[in-house]
Amino acid sequence: MAELDLDAMLHRFRERALAVKRRPLPPVAGEERQRFIEQAQLDFQDFAIIGDAQATVEDGVLVLRVDLRPKTDK
């Protein structure tokens, strides 16, 4: 198995999140348009969460650490 480049993997997820944000709306209306928008929001959220993770391999297991605590101004 090839070695996993964790930084490159996380970079690809950040790029996917940006691509979803830039994705143009297709020429659809009504319910179909709303479903497309909702799916795009979920796609962005999922890709962004993984893209923001800290990744390590521990005992052969990929561990993604994601801090979901609200950011506070210090």
State how far the Cα of 67 lies from the Cα of 61, in Å rounded to an integer.
Answer: 19
The residue behind tokens 């009504």 is 30
Q: How far is CA 55 from CA 3, 11, 50, 60, in A?
A: 14, 11, 9, 12
Write down the pLDDT at residue 26: 84
Report helix, strand and coil shares of the chain as percent, to nearest 5. 55, 15, 35
Write down the pLDDT at residue 74: 59
- Residue-wise pLDDT for 2-60, tens only, equals 688 999 999 999 999 999 999 998 888 999 999 999 999 999 999 999 999 999 999 99
